[in-house]
Amino acid sequence: MILKKYHRNYISLSLLFRQRRRHREFGKIFREQFGPRQNVVIADPDLMAEVLRKEGKYPSRPPYESWVLYNQLRRKDGGLMTSEREYWKKSRGVLATKLRPRAVADYVPIMNEVCSDFLARIEMLKVPAQGGPAKDSNPHTDSNSENPDEEASSHMDAPHTVPRMLNELNKFSMETILYVMLNTRVGCLEAKLSEQVDSFVRSIARMFLTGHQLMVYANIHKLLSTRPWREHVQSMDKIYEFASHHVNQCIDEVTRELESTTCSTGEEPVSFLKYVVGTNQLSRDQIVDNVIETFMAGIDTTANALAFLFYLLSKNESVQERLVTEVDNVVGGRTPSSEDLQRMPFLKACVKETLRLFPPIPINARSTTEDCSLGGYHIPKDTILMLNLYVMSRDEKVFPNPDEFHPERWLREGRDENEPLPHPFSLLPFGSGVRSCVGRRVAEIQMYLATIQVLQRYTLKKSDVFDIKPFVRTQLTPGPELPVMFLER
């Protein structure tokens, strides 16, 4: 019974709105029962700053328990998402170097290549103008149809939309992140997926779904060997089998290269994996675990963010027009470069504004590692602090007209002198500080490049056939179908 209460496929946004009401009732900080735990909830920029500025050497974030339990079951050290203290710090030092802004600029050409393939898929899958099935809706040519994440939908016939867009965006993210980390194309965007890739893509979807079902009382699910737990383990096993095969193959390659290179000219940028292996800081298994956890952390997050961005642009014609003007002026019809991105403040503002309205991780968290005070209250060690980003973003005291899509609020130029810039801790979709999102630059650049390439070719227009009803499935998502029409410019 108890497990059933918490074993849900999704949580509606009403949970977040309930917290909004509680903040109105109790103020900036309050206690809340969540499953078996008492948590402290905050949604205020000053309190966020208080928490994140005074973090110690090893900030602790409650990890996805299902991932930790899986690692214990398979005797894995795990990666950045699940590890703590010294091992986390060491892994972070090794992985972060090649994910910093300057290093990520080197990946722009390969990320552009994946974007172009994503555009080809949009073109292939788009529903024709007169409606009806998409050009390529044969279930045998694509993993979508059996994606456990999704239900058959009548929305699939909406003209000019791409059926199961979120699944397409997930595959786009997978391909991008694996290309960045392994310098290898895995084939998630092929017209016809190989059997292995297809099974991998399905396992990722199943892992996220069951992971959400295990969000509370995962240990009891494991103890009772419930269906969500068994399916979670099965999907994780498949993901590790496929991904570790690729990672190990790449480690072998770069190890051979490292052994044969007598002296480097220093001109060629060193690839992510070559750098990681070359540091000799992590064992082979630890590299595999870290690559896989980093990869898994980046898929859904970026896919959901891009889905919301396309949706918001499709609904806000004037914003889209201004963005298209920036794209045309800075990039024109060329392939975008990292230098172009430096000259596109409005694009960056659109991405920020999307992440404000729809933070893919609507609630971040910290475990206190010692007794501390917060907002004048005593907080004991081992308390979970819930950092409610969604509620903070929608607070009219933090952002005027909080429910409006208004990217201009992020621009320095052209703002009213009396209008203050937003509080530096009011927008934290990637967290902040030493434990913040290590993939932030990859995610941002992927979003910039995809948006530029899409707008070079299409005008986005909201379809009247249906609308989104965002919900939380571990992450904030618009759902599998996106009512966005891709109209040839």
In angstroms, what is the minimal distance from the CB of 224 to ligand HEM? 29
Q: How far is the CB of 364 from ligand HEM (least distance, A)?
A: 5
For the bound state, the minimum distance from the C-beta of residue 63 to ligand HEM, rounded and expressed in Å, comes to 8
In the complex, least distance from residue 306 CB atom to ligand HEM, rounded to whole angstroms = 8
- Specify the residue, 290 or 316, whose C-beta has the smaller distance to ligand HEM: 290
Give the interface with ligand HEM as residue ranges (CB under 6 A). 61, 80-81, 92, 177, 294, 297-298, 301-302, 305, 360-361, 364, 429-431, 435-439, 442-443
250 is in an annotated binding site: no
- For residues 243 and 237, give the distance between their C-alpha atoms in angstroms, rounded to a whole number: 10
* CB 145, CB 134: distance < 8 Å: no
**Angle between helix 195-213 and 65-73 (nearest 10):** 120
- Rounded to 10 deg, the angle between the 284-315 and 195-213 helix axes is 80
- Cα dihedral 88→172→446→467 (10° resolution): -110
In angstroms, rounded to a whole number, what is the distance separating the alpha carbons of residues 370 and 36?
A: 21
Q: How far is the CB of 48 from ligand HEM (least distance, A)?
A: 10
CA distance 475 to 117: 26
Q: Which residues, in sequence order, are bridge partners of residue 379?
A: 372
Distance CA 325, CA 310 (A): 17
Tokens 């934290």 sit on residue: 428
Q: Do residues 44 and 28 make contact, with C-beta atoms less than 8 angstroms apart?
A: yes
Closest to ligand HEM by CB, 229 vs 240, is 240
**Closest to ligand HEM by CB, 229 or 310:** 310
Supply 124's token pair.
Answer: 């292939």
Q: How far is the CB of 260 from ligand HEM (least distance, A)?
A: 29
Q: For ligand HEM, give the closer residue by CB, 29 or 361.
A: 361
* CA–CA distance, 87 with 72 (Å, rounded to integer): 15
Residue nearer to ligand HEM on the CB measure, 119 or 438: 438
Which of residues 163 and 298 has its CB atom nearest to ligand HEM in the complex? 298
Residues annotated as binding site for heme?
A: 437
Residues annotated as binding site?
A: 437
